[in-house]
Amino acid sequence: MSTVAVPSPPPTASEDAESLRKALQGWRADKAALVGVLCRRTAAQRAAIRRAYGFLYREPLLNCFRDKLSRHCLLSVDFWKAMILWTMDAAERDANLVHEAVKKKGEDHILALIEVSCASTPDHLMAVRKIYRQLFSCSIEEDLASSPALQEPLNKISAGRLALVLQMLISLVSSYRYAGEHVDMAVVKLEAAQLSEAIREKQLDRNVVVRIISTRSKPQLRATFQQYKEDQGTNIVEDISSHCSGNKFARMLKSAVLCLTSPQKHFAQVIRYSILGLGTYEDILTRVIVSRAEIDLKQIKEEYRARYKSAVTLDVADDTSFGYRDMLLALIGGED
């Protein structure tokens, strides 16, 4: 459920474009005005504002944002990066997040790949792949297969396991899962047993595990994991953690399982991780808030409160500052 509060009735797209133009004038942009307009509009309304802005001023709105980002690279980088991502179409945004993940180093970027692949609907993932090709003249699969940056955080594992990690990621981003509710119980029982054997023997990198996680529908997987729990008396995510701790492939698999079947739990954990400790992982926090605000951020907030006995709104406010904080809080909305 969306947390974006839209005024009723909203201004026209041309009126909003004029407001943005005024806010962007001068050396320092009026960040409060930008937040007041764009963070109170739906995806369709933001798309209309971009079209109106380009028509009225013969300049793409995102180019204006990037110009301001280049001027304020030290003081407002987090705000401008978040604003650019928020103003993009959802598929365009995720394509850019995937491209950044492929090119940059670190397991956190692998996590972004998994989120886009597994927490999306089949049609949305198809749209991401299509616009990725248009923007970068290459497929996601090609970039994944040839990315040295992606391999570096995994360089302590064997060549064979690394190949399977890449196979898993490529299978996830190229999957088009059945979107209906039908579940085959015979397959559920078989694959629950196969997963149990792989976990028990600490061999998560078997081809059968990759096949199950990267091809089965979400209802089928939920039924399989429920069967696993009934058979083993334990949750599959907990067993992955306890039997295969310290295994990079296991951490990747656990994230995929959660994104596929319990995305709100996954994203609540990621928000907590991004703000826990002395510093803030702004890129991670931005990615979650911006990408989930119009999907299920309300449920993520509820999961966060139940799990951590605290509010996302308060924790984000305590850990961020200035225009960046105001933007995130506008998207997060109030606490019930």
Q: Give per-residue pLDDT as tens, 312-323.
A: 999 999 999 999
Say which CATH superfamily domain 181-261 falls into. Answer: Annexin (1.10.220.10)
Query: pLDDT of 229-238, one tens digit each?
Result: 999 999 999 9
CA atoms within 13 A on the CB side of 60: 8
What pLDDT shows up at residue 336? 66
**CATH number for the domain whose boundaries are 90-176:** 1.10.220.10
Q: Which DSSP string do the residues of 150-214 spell out, in sequence order?
A: HHGGGTTS-HHHHHHHHHHHHHHHH-----S----HHHHHHHHHHHHHHHHTT-TT-HHHHHHHH
CATH architecture of 13-89: Orthogonal Bundle (1.10)
CA distance 273 to 106: 15
pLDDT in tens, 169-208: 999 999 999 999 999 999 999 999 999 999 988 888 788 9
pTM: 0.93
Q: At residue 162, does pLDDT exceed 70? A: no
* Closest by CA position to 215, among listed 170, 160, 265: 170
Both tokens of 281, joined, read 């992982």
* Model pLDDT for residues 239-279, shown as the tens digit of each residue: 998 877 667 788 889 999 999 999 999 999 999 999 987 67
- Helices (H) then strands (E): counts for the chain: 21, 0
Q: In Å, how far from its chain's centre is CA 84? A: 15
Q: What is the CATH number of domain 265-332?
A: 1.10.220.10
Q: Give me the pLDDT at residue 330, please.
A: 97
Q: Look at 104 and 77; give whichever has higher pLDDT.
A: 77
Mean pLDDT of the chain: 91
How far is 312 from 274, CA to CA, in rounded Å? 12
Q: What is the pLDDT of residue 205?
A: 74
**196 Cβ contact list (under 8 Å, min separation 6):** 228, 231, 232
For the chain, report the end-to-end CA distance as a whole number of angstroms: 13
Task: Using the CB atoms, write b or e for 266-305: b if 16+ within 10 Å.
Answer: bbbbbbeebbeeeebbbbbbbbbbbbbbbbbbbbbbbbbb
Q: Which part of the chain has CATH 1.10.220.10?
A: 13-89, 90-176, 181-261, 265-332
- pLDDT recorded at residue 243: 78
Structure confidence at residue 4 (pLDDT)? 93
User: Average of pLDDT values for 49-54?
Assistant: 98
Sequence-separated contacts (24+) of 273-281 with Cβ below 8 Å? 275/315, 275/316, 275/318, 275/319, 280/319, 280/320, 281/108
